[in-house]
Amino acid sequence: MHEMSLMQSVLDIIEDASISGKFTKVKKICLEIGVLSCVDAGALDFCFDAVMCGTMAQDAILEIVKKQGQGWCVACSKTVEIGERYDPCPFCGGHQIQVTGGEEMRVKELEVE
């Protein structure tokens, strides 16, 4: 389950931000996760309490925002939304789509004290 190490990385980001932002408590963490990122939001949510226990984010609320996949169709030269990596182009039906978005996972927002 790589979601545990991903959540540990989120905690590392929070701890680094607390030094420059001079905060001691995190109330809310908003993560943006692309649908093509291969991150299981349910597993990430499961790991959240275990990783954040005993930290400045122990009582924080986790909000997960899903970001739609996006690609550029080589055949018809259009930017299209895709739900899975090998979806066909909704315009021409072709499968030559270069992924341009939806693979990322990032800390979008922190609410802190």
Domain locations in the chain as residue ranges: 3-68+102-112
Q: What is the DSSP letter of 35?
A: T
Of the candidates 3, 13, 8, 70, the one whose C-alpha atom is nearest the C-alpha of residue 38 is: 3
For residue 14, pLDDT beyond 80: yes
Q: What is the pLDDT of residues 74-85, one digit of tens each?
A: 999 999 999 999
Q: What value does the mean pLDDT take over residues 88-106? A: 96
Provide the pLDDT for residue 55: 97
The CATH number of domain 3-68+102-112 is 3.30.2320.50: yes
- The model carries a pTM of 0.86
DSSP string, 37-101: S---HHHHHHHHHHHHTTSTTTTPEEEEEEE-EEEEETTTTEEEEESSTTPPPTTT----EEEEE
Q: What value does the mean pLDDT take over residues 14-40? A: 96
Q: What value does the mean pLDDT take over residues 13-21? A: 95
